[in-house]
Structure 1
Amino acid sequence: MKWQGRRRSSNIEDRRGKSGSEGRGINPMLLGPLIRLLFSKTGLVIVGLFLILSFATGNNPLSLLGNFFTGGPQQTQSAAPYQGSAKENELAEFSAVILANTEDVWNGIFNNYREPTLVLFTGSVNSACGMASSATGPFYCPGDEKLYLDLSFFDDMERKLNAPGDFAQAYVIAHEVGHHIQKLMGTTDKVHALRGRLSEKEYNQYSVRLELQADFLAGVWAHHSQQMTRMMEEGDLEEALNAAFAIGDDRLQKQSTGHVVPDSFTHGTSAQRMKWFKKGFETGDLAQGDTFNANPL
């Protein structure tokens, strides 16, 4: 890909090197009830217990009480900026360029496009969808409309999944942006509303269709990006298709357990993921991406 020297997105939240479990303050809505509790008989007993504990442990009783009501000690953030390796920093710059490119494409296609934020993290991260570790892989949280990415995933793609290449990495980011498009279109909310109303097997089928549509939308991005910027070079399309193949449910299950359970699929097979990305890339037409009524997938 010819990505160097191009515009970088400003919608980047760099949390690399920071803990994902930062301390929480007291919810203002709980402040009144907590004050009433402290001055009740029960509250006096709690204070007495914390005084005994503080003398036994040598800790400040006020700190113990604060930790009790806020859910844990406050994490202090280092004043020094995070210093990533040269390779990691290059991947961070690359990700910002790809996100900017998705902004340019989708602003041209989607009316009143609301740009998402890309959060870079290491180890674990806290989002509106809850706490997640790097093992989760890249994900999009519709609750805060942010994409979350631990850059070490790109190394895992190359070493563990045999899916190297910068355009393979761009496909991953574009897929998560595809989920953002689904959120803006209302598709995500409709699918999530089915959870609990369907069996796990039935809901998994909707999840697969949601993921395949995000693959299609990534292909639509690639189609229009190439027309606008000519960033793609020979072999780039094959890199993306190889990445789609590498993260198919059937391939991952076969690789990890030695057998395949189709009813447990949540993202689609390798063949399906390749098919829908390629369809998006070849047509560039949003109307061609109705995976929910496609039969067969």
Structure 2
Amino acid sequence: MRLRGVRKSQNVEDRRRSGGAKGAGIGGVGLLVILAIGYFAGIDVSPLLNDMAQPQQQATGELSAEEQKAGAFSAAVLGSTEEVWDQVFSEQLGRSYTPPVLVLFSGTTQSPCGGASGATGPFYCPGDRKAYLDTQFFATLPRQLGAKGDFAAAYVIAHEVAHHVQNELGILSKVHQARQQSSKRDANALTVRLELQADCLSGVWARAVDGLLEPGDLEEALNAARMIGDDHLQKRAGRIPQPHTFTHGTSAQRSRWFKRGYDSGDVQQCDTFGAKRL
């Protein structure tokens, strides 16, 4: 993805200099299993990581060159989402767009939605209208999840911003209310539709920044969508896929809805809640 010259967002809250704890190394297979558990179960698995980790070492207040690069990349991607959604809201929805804040952290941090850690992966908290990202997740994507390429990392940020778009449109609150009145199985099904809609909205963003894409970028995003499908993650964790526990959708569904958004560039095409087939 060509980001040189792209405006970097100022809506970034960098907590990585605050001296948060950094854990010692965990075996690749063990980390993958823990990440998968947290991802498809929707729980904070940081206690499991703490049990497996060696004594913690306090991080210094200085960022490494790699961390600085990750921060600049995140700010540029976020800046692109601001321009895209400002235009889409105006032209397609007839309203204004208020962008979210992206919180960058290292190790663990706190949010109104609970403790945030690299174990739970990136997430959006409607309580403070902020997206949370441990930039070490960029390394986890290719090394542990098989999602290589900078556009795969950009897709992750775009997906969390898409949840903010859903919040701006009042979709998150409606789904939350419906989930509270539903069985666990039905609540999971609603969450799947919510996540697939975010994938589709990420595709809308990707189409709008097509001029920044390099050969292979689109396939990187589609591959990332496949690699973090519930069925794929459960298989990688050594489990038989159980559709009633899915909360994000299958690999095929995630890549299909992302491509639908990319092909159409139309928010209205992202109505997963009205779709008979996901």
Query: Structure 2 length normalisation: TM-score?
Result: 0.82
Q: State the SS of the aligned residue for 1:135.
A: coil
Q: Per-residue CA shift, 1:1-36, capped at 9, x if unaligned?
A: 111232110000000143679xxxxxxxxxxxxxxx
Structure-2 residue corresponding to 1:197: 181
- How does 1:206-245 map onto structure 2 within 5 Å? 206-226=190-210, 230-245=211-226
Could you tell me how far 1:279 is from its partner in structure 2?
0.5
Give CA deviations for 1:89-123 in whole Å, capped at 9, x if unaligned. 10110000000000001111112101100000011
Aligned counterpart, 2:27: none
Amino acid of the residue matched to residue 247 of structure 1? Answer: I
User: What percentage of residue pairs aligned between the two structures are identical?
Assistant: 54
Structure 1: which amino acid aligns with 2:246?
A: F
What are the residue-to-residue correspondences of 1:113-152 with 2, within 5 Å?
113-152=97-136
Partner of 1:14: 14
For the pair 1:263 / 2:244, whether they are aligned, the reply is: yes
- Are 2:270 and 1:286 aligned? no
- The structure whose Rg is larger is 1
Q: Choose between structure 1 and 2 for higher RCO, CA contacts under 8 A separated by at least 6 residues.
A: 2
Q: CA deviation at 1:196?
A: 2.9
How many residue pairs get aligned? The number is: 237
Q: What is the rounded CA distance, in whole Å, between the counterparts of 1:20 and 1:132 in structure 2?
A: 12
SS of equivalent residue, structure 2 residue 16: coil
Q: Is the 8 Å Cα contact of residues 179 and 186 (structure 2) preserved in structure 1?
A: no
Q: Could you tell me which of 124, 129, 139 is aligned with 1:155?
A: 139
Which 5+ residue runs of structure 1 have no aligned equivalent?
Answer: 22-77
Whether the aligned pair in 1 keeps the contact of 2:200 and 2:262 (CA below 8 Å) is yes
Q: Secondary structure at the match of 2:97?
A: coil
Q: For residues 205 and 19 of structure 1, do their structure 2 counterparts lie closer, same or farther at Cα, with a shift above 3 Å needed?
A: farther
TM superposition score normalised by structure 1: 0.77
Q: Which residue of 2 aligns with 1:101?
A: 80
Residue of structure 2 in register with 1:5 after alignment: 5
Alignment of 1:9-48 (within 5 A): 9-18=9-18
Report the 3-state secondary structure (helix = DSSP H, G, I; strand = E; otherwise coil) of the residue aligned with 1:3: coil
Q: Is the 8 A contact 1:213 1:291 kept in 2?
A: yes
Alpha-carbon distance in 2 for matches of 1:132, 1:149: 9
Q: What RMSD over aligned residues (CA atoms) do the two structures have, in Å?
A: 1.7
Instruction: Give me the whole-angstrom Cα distance separating, in 2, the residues matched to 1:135 and 1:14.
Output: 19
**Alignment correspondent of 1:84:** 63
